[in-house]
Amino acid sequence: MRFISWNVNGIRAVLGKDFMDVFDHFDADIFALQETKCQAGQVELDLPGYHQFWSYAERKGYSGTAIFCREEPERVLHGLGIPHLDREGRIVAAEFDRFWFVDCYTPNAQAELARIDHRMEWDDAFREFCVGLEAGMLPDGSRTPGKPVVMCGDLNVAHHDIDLKNPGPNRGNAGFSDQERGKLDELLEAGFVDTFRYVHPDLAEVYTWWSYQRRARRTNAGWRIDYFLVSESLAPRIAGASIYGEVYGSDHCPIGLELEL
């Protein structure tokens, strides 16, 4: 199966920048978006053969996630089940026959870590959510057969020095603070695998996000903050993990995962 994830930084904007060509080119079984920045009814996509599921933020033009999948899910969740964390449309989770698929847009800690407490609460809740799905526990407390998890999205954190161009000056800043990196450690320690590093443990200068300032993309002064993670039981089934830096249209580029399922 082929999975694609892309923070589009506004679906309405990227639709004018060859989004459909990119979508068709990847021919993914599941295509996940983050930062769609739209409300219900503002975008109508004609995607024959795909089911569409969108989560919207209460605030207009902000956040939002979506997944487009060939197989119809058994169930779809649009949040973590915690009302004050679910106002920004940051989760779409779909249950399929053999796995859960979770699309996530993690909150930014913001300048001077102004939103770090909210971010820490989110990271803990997200980890418990994914561990729960794997164990067969839904947010409402009901039980379902446990299944491995495939999760993706903009997690808004570079994990190690290799994952950003300038680690020294950015240490302690949003996206590379000890707090955020520690929460990603906890997520991996809970039983998940960073698929890109599983396949490419030492590959450097490969990033998924570049600031629009100072020609960062032209000089490749980027960050790897977009991920596919899978349950450890799926690690032997990883057939490929890719970053498509040649694809423009957003300040992020798409990433891909191939699993033998």
Query: End-to-end alpha-carbon separation of the chain, Å?
Result: 7
Q: Quick one: which of 103, 107, 126 has its CA closest to 32? A: 103
Q: Is 105 a catalytic residue?
A: yes
Q: Which residue has the tokens 């057939």?
A: 239
- 108 touches 205 (CB < 8 A): no
- 81 touches 55 (CB < 8 A): no
Q: Is 21 a catalytic residue?
A: no
Q: How far apart are CA 1 and CA 81, in angstroms?
A: 29
Q: How far apart are CA 157 and CA 179, in angstroms?
A: 10
Residues 6+ apart with CB under 8 A from 236: none
Q: How far apart are CA 167 and CA 124, in angstroms?
A: 25
| Residue 232 DSSP symbol | G
- 147 touches 101 (CB < 8 A): no
Q: How far apart are CA 123 and CA 117, in angstroms?
A: 10
Considering 105, 194, 207, 227, which one is annotated as catalytic? 105
Residues 6+ apart with CB under 8 A from 68: 23, 30, 31, 32, 33, 45, 47, 50, 51, 52, 53
Considering 29, 86, 103, 154, which one is annotated as catalytic? 154
Q: How far apart are CA 229 and CA 209, in angstroms?
A: 18
Hey, which residues are catalytic here?
Answer: 105, 154
